[in-house]
Amino acid sequence: MNLVSNALKFTKDGEVEIIVRLNKVEERFYFLEFHIIDNGVGIAVVDQDKIFEKFVQVGRKDEDYQGTGLGLSIVKRLLGLFGSTINLESDIGAGTSFSFVIPFEHDPQKTKKIIDEIEVDLTSSEVYKILIVEDNLINQLVTKKIIEKNNYVCKVVDDGFAALDIIEKENFDLILMDINMPLMNGFETTKRIRLKKVTTPIVALTAFDKDEITDEAISSGINDIIVKPFEPIKLFKIISYLIKEAKNVG
C-alpha cells in the first residue's frame, strides 16, 4: 500500500503497474515476486540510498503532498520481518520500479486449523457507525472494506478538520484515527474532539511502534492503539470492547 500510494503520488500523468509473479517453489513455500512500476518523476541516483531512511523526502516541491517521510522506512522494516529486501531502479524523468520477493507458506491443513480455532465472529448483529479519519486513499479503501464487511456503517474523511466538522453533524459509535496526517495530526485532532466534550471512543491507527506513542496518545484522549498493518480480528475485538464499555458508562 505504501509503495502504490507513493507511485500514484509522483505519477501525475502516466500509469502505475502492480505485477505479482511466482518466483519459485521450495517445499511448502511459494516465493512471490512483487513489482510496483510507475512512469512518473523518478528518483535521482544520488538520492536512492537516502530514501529508505526515516524522515527523508526527496524531489518534492512546496505544493506537493507533505507526508511524514516514514513510508519507505516502514516498507524496508516490514520486508525485513519476512527476511526480504527491496530493490529499486529509477532515474529522473524515467519512472521508478520497486521489487521484492516474499515467501508464503502453503499448508492447507495448517490454514484449516487456524480458521477452525478462530473464536471471534466477524459478522456483527449490531450495526455500529464508525468514522475513519485517514488521508491515504488506499488505506481508506482497505479499512472501509474491512469495516463494512463486518456489517458496520462507515464514513470516511480525509483530515482532522473534516473530522471536527462531521462530528458536529453526526454521531458515531467509534472513531478510527490515523496519526500521521498532514495539516493536523491524529493527536491534535483527538485533543480538539475531546475539547468539544465528545466522549466517543477513539482508536489510533499508526505505523509507529506502539511504545513510541503511548504516552502522547493517552494524554490526547485516545482510548487504544492499533499498529498498521493490523489484523481485522484484533481490530474488531477492540472496537466491540470499547463501544460496549462506552455504552455501559453512558
Q: What does the pLDDT look like over 235-250, one tens digit per residue? A: 888 998 899 888 876 5
Reply yes or no on whether the pLDDT at 137 is more than 80: yes
CA-to-CA distance for 12 and 141, rounded, in angstroms?
21
Considering the domain architecture, whether residues 208 and 135 belong to the same structural domain is answered as yes
CA-to-CA distance for 161 and 166, rounded, in angstroms?
9
Q: Assign 136 a pLDDT band (cuts: 50, 70, 90).
A: confident
Please give the residue that has the higher pLDDT: either 95 or 68: 95
- Whether the CB-CB separation of 90 and 43 falls below 8 Å is answered with yes
Q: Is residue 57 part of a domain?
A: yes
Considering the domain architecture, whether residues 91 and 200 belong to the same structural domain is answered as no
- Whether the CB-CB separation of 76 and 55 falls below 8 Å is answered with no
Q: Which helix (H) or strand (E) holds 65?
A: none
pLDDT of 43-90, one tens digit each? 888 777 777 776 555 554 444 444 434 568 888 888 988 899 999 998
Lowest-pLDDT range, 110-114, 172-176, 218-222?
110-114
CA-to-CA distance for 102 and 87, rounded, in angstroms?
13
C-alpha cell at 125: 448483529
CATH number of 82's domain: 3.30.565.10
pTM to 2 decimal places: 0.63
Please give the residue that has the higher pLDDT: either 126 or 236: 236
Considering the domain architecture, whether residues 137 and 245 belong to the same structural domain is answered as yes
Q: Is residue 166 part of a domain?
A: yes
What is the per-residue pLDDT for 175? 96
Domain total of the chain? 2
If we measure between CA atoms, which residue out of 182, 189, 195 comes closest to residue 216?
189
Percentage of residues in the chain with pLDDT exceeding 70? 89
pLDDT of 138-190, one tens digit each? 888 888 988 888 878 999 999 999 999 999 999 999 999 998 888 899 999 99
Q: Where in the sequence is the domain holding 7, given as residue range(s)?
A: 2-108
